[in-house]
Amino acid sequence: MKSIQQLNEQIITCRKCERLVTFREKIASEKRKQFMDWTYWGKPVIGYGHDNAKLLIVGLAPAAHGGNRTGRVFTGDKSADFLLMCLHTAGMANQPNSDHRDDGLNIYDGYMTPVLKCVPPGDKPTAEELRTCFEYFTLEMALLTHVSVILTLGKIAHDNILKYYQAEYSIKKSDYPFGHFKEYILPDKKVLISSYHPSPRNVNTKRLTKEMMLELFTTIKDRL
């Protein structure tokens, strides 16, 4: 595999996980009432951003009526609204919104990707589905050669980064516990920063606030 573009062309056609293929297509055909005039994407959702990104933002999976509808990661749902508002306020994105694939969003020096490319029922993937899609994630990691800072949004994203490094280096997962604004130096000198996921559950309960994210993004900018 020579480029992210080639990899993404392959991922978009993937039908390896039967349960997820059935679910993503069911959501795409049934739709939500407020999006009835949309043609849902209903396929795997690939990464978005710059091939030579220095910052890699890793999420869990596309949302049923977010990425699975719009076809772009962190686009068209409440998590995306919060994340982009914070990135824009921190001066790391050109606009405070991420609504659809052609809205011109630019995450400066950044690339965002989900560890699982298809929406899972109840936002809960099986271990086997994560394992199957991890092959693509590993290839993405290898192709994004300019990355110096990795931001993981949520524990599953964090665990997948550690799984990648466990395969490449002999690290102990227990040396890199997940938490909000935990910062680590990885064996290849990249900086790993973990964050609570910007989901409505965390944002509405104030477990994750705009101030917390801006503090974290200030540190990321310093490290880049």
Q: Is 20 in the site for ligand SF4 (CB under 6 A)?
A: yes
Asked whether position 11 contacts ligand SF4 by CB under 6 A, the answer is: yes
Question: Which candidate, 58, 55, 49, 90, places its Cα nearest to that of 217?
Answer: 90
Using the rule CB under 6 A, is 190 a contact of ligand SF4?
Answer: no
x/- site string to ligand SF4, residues 31 to 60, per CB under 6 A?
Answer: -------------x----------------
Note whether 24 and 133 are within 8 A (CB).
no
DSSP state of 110: E
Q: Which is nearer to ligand SF4, 64 or 220 (CB)?
A: 64
Of 26 and 223, nearer to ligand SF4 (C-beta) is 26
Q: In what order do the strands lie in the sheet with 191-195?
A: 48-49, 110-114, 55-59, 149-153, 191-195, 182-185
Alpha-carbon span 167 to 99, nearest angstrom? 36
Binder to ligand SF4 among 56, 57, 116, 216 (CB under 6 A)? 116
Which DSSP state fits 96?
Answer: S
Spatial distance between the Cα atoms of 30 and 196, rounded to a whole number of angstroms: 31
How many residues touch ligand SF4 (CB under 6 A)?
15
With contacts defined by CB under 6 A, name the span among 47-55, 125-133, 158-166, 196-204 that binds ligand SF4.
125-133
CB of 187 to ligand SF4, least distance (A): 26
Distance of closest approach, residue 143 Cβ to ligand SF4, in angstroms: 16
Nearer to ligand SF4, 63 or 149 (CB): 63
The Cα-based distances of 54 to 40, 173, 206, 220 in angstroms read 31, 24, 29, 10
Backbone angles phi, psi at 140, to 5 degrees: -60, -50
Binding mask 126-145 for ligand SF4 (x = CB under 6 A): ---x--xx--x---------
Residues of the shown chain interacting with ligand SF4 in the complex, contacts defined by CB under 6 A: 11, 14-17, 20-21, 44, 116-118, 129, 132-133, 136
